[in-house]
């Protein structure tokens, strides 16, 4: 049975050219980049070159990049780092603004800070089509607001937030304030498809993860604009401009840079056509609905709810047919709670539990889309016949 992989938002296969670029740094060029001897300096030179390449992609300085273990650490470092750096410098409790449907790496970090009494927080609910407007963020700003964190592309429903408009609004607000508001975006799901020029986006902090763009797992980065105060969260060495201690993941960083080099956004149109083909086919199944705007959406994301068909059961049946999909983000796939993303958009629990996320990739073919549509019709029909809900 030929398997079909439609869970690229969870992770992507490592591109062969990425693997080839990494290979020498596992054994032949294995030095610690912090060592002063020749082995270490070969590794240091490779890391520095990778940092420059990625900085060019983001249109930033090399010194503004902090390599991390991935998107979750980058999000944690951005939020905790800014809050801890500034909390003693504001007269009242710091205020942080985010959306109610962020990735848990952002959402749970802010919830914990609020529960510990460190900050007060505002969680902006998205519109019914899964969007956060700049005006909604503006209305939430208070005198003590110091940080806004809004994700670029939602990891579950793929909706694209107006990051540039939000960033421009915050810059305008900052001109009238005594204290500055810093703006962070989790761009993990956006990197492959959308503009990442940090000046164009008007962001102060931005998170990326390599394994979402055909790079290796275990490496990511946080862009930190010069002048943005951030307190380190890991101590033990002077790596990453003393902002993130720990021996550099040299092969991972090399692979990360190569993965970024291989991004080709001219392929977006092909993916959009396949995405829309899948959406059109699945919406022909009775009592189904697309979650999130179809227009302001990642070219790779399809999230649909099927009434009276349980999402986990759909996934198990798909897997038996050799098709990989998900019911939301990989980080919460073990949870029995309804999707916090869909709940924030106002969907009732029964529709949340019937949702399935298909995420396309570079390898996705038209015949695979057609097979998934056919298989899904049969699965949903079978599960509905078994369901006590009619």
- What domains are defined for the chain? 4-12+265-386 (3.90.1150.10), 16-261 (3.40.640.10)
| Total-model pTM | 0.94
Q: Give the pLDDT confidence score for residue 32 in this predicted structure.
A: 82
- Which among 140, 331, 373, 375 is annotated as catalytic? 331
Is pLDDT of 5 > 80?
A: yes
Active site residue 331: yes
Distance (Å, whole) CA 31 – CA 8: 33
Q: Pick the more confident residue, 331 or 101.
A: 101
Q: Give the pLDDT confidence score for residue 352 in this predicted structure.
A: 87
* Continuous H helices in 175-267: 198-201, 239-242, 250-261
% pLDDT > 90, the chain? 83
Distance (Å, whole) CA 297 – CA 161: 9
Is pLDDT of 33 > 90?
A: no
C-beta contacts of 351-355 below 8 A and 24+ residues apart: 351/289, 351/305, 351/307, 352/305, 353/310, 353/311, 354/305, 354/306, 354/307, 354/308, 354/309, 354/310, 354/311, 354/314, 355/291, 355/303, 355/304, 355/305, 355/306, 355/311, 355/327, 355/328
- 11: Cα separation from own chain's centroid: 11
pLDDT digits (tens, 9 = 90+) for 99-115: 999 999 999 999 999 99
Is pLDDT of 336 > 70?
A: no
Give mean pLDDT, residues 9-17: 97
Q: Pick the more confident residue, 288 or 335.
A: 288
Tokens 């650490």 locate to 73
Q: Give the pLDDT confidence score for residue 351 in this predicted structure.
A: 82
Confidence grade of residue 334 (pLDDT, cut at 50, 70, 90): low
Confidence grade of residue 329 (pLDDT, cut at 50, 70, 90): very low
Give mean pLDDT, residues 113-119: 96
Specify burial of residue 302 (Cβ count, 10 A radius: 0-12, 13-18, 19+): buried
Q: Which of 9-23, 32-46, 174-188 has the lowest mean pLDDT?
A: 32-46
* Continuous H helices in the chain: 16-22, 38-58, 71-86, 104-115, 134-140, 163-174, 198-201, 239-242, 250-261, 268-282, 311-320, 340-344, 349-353, 366-386
Structural contact between residues 252 and 263, judged by C-beta atoms closer than 8 angstroms: no
Is pLDDT of 215 > 50?
A: yes
């Amino acid at each position: 049975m030929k398997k079909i992989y439609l869970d690229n938002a969870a992770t992507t296969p490592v591109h062969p050219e990425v693997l080839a670029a990494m290979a020498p740094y596992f054994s032949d060029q294995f030095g610690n980049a912090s060592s002063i001897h020749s082995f270490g300096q070969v590794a240091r030179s490779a890391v520095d070159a990778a940092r420059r390449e990625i900085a060019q992609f983001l249109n930033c300085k090399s010194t503004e990049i902090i390599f991390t273990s991935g998107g979750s650490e980058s999000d944690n470092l951005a939020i905790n780092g800014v809050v801890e750096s500034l909390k003693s410098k504001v007269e009242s409790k710091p205020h942080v603004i985010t959306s109610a449907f962020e990735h848990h790496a952002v959402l749970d970090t802010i919830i914990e800070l609020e529960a510990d009494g460190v900050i007060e927080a505002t969680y902006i609910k998205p519109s019914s089509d899964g969007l956060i407007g700049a005006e909604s963020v503006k209305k939430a700003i208070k005198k003590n607001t110091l940080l806004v964190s809004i994700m670029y592309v939602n990891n579950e429903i793929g909706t694209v937030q107006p990051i540039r408009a939000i960033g421009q609004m915050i810059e305008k607000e900052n001109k009238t304030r005594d204290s500055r508001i810093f703006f962070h975006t989790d761009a993990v799901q956006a990197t492959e498809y959308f503009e990442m020029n940090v000046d164009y986006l008007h962001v102060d902090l931005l998170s990326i993860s390599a394994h979402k763009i055909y790079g290796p797992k275990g490496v990511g980065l946080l862009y930190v604009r010069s002048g943005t105060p951030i307190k380190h969260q890991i101590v033990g060495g002077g790596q990453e401009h003393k902002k993130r201690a720990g021996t550099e993941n040299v092969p991972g960083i090399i692979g990360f840079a190569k993965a970024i080099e291989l991004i080709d956004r001219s392929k977006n149109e092909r993916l959009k056509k396949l995405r829309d083909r899948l959406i059109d086919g699945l919406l022909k199944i009775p009592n189904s609905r697309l979650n999130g705007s179809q227009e302001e959406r990642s070219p790779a994301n399809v999230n649909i709810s099927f009434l009276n068909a349980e999402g986990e059961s759909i996934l198990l049946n798909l897997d038996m047919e050799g098709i990989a999909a998900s019911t939301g983000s990989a980080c919460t796939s073990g949870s029995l709670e309804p999707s916090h993303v869909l709940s924030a958009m106002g969907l009732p629990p029964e529709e949340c539990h019937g949702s399935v996320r298909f995420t396309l990739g570079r390898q996705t073919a038209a015949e695979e889309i057609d097979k998934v549509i056919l298989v899904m019709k049969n699965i949903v029909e079978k599960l509905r016949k078994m369901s006590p809900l009619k």
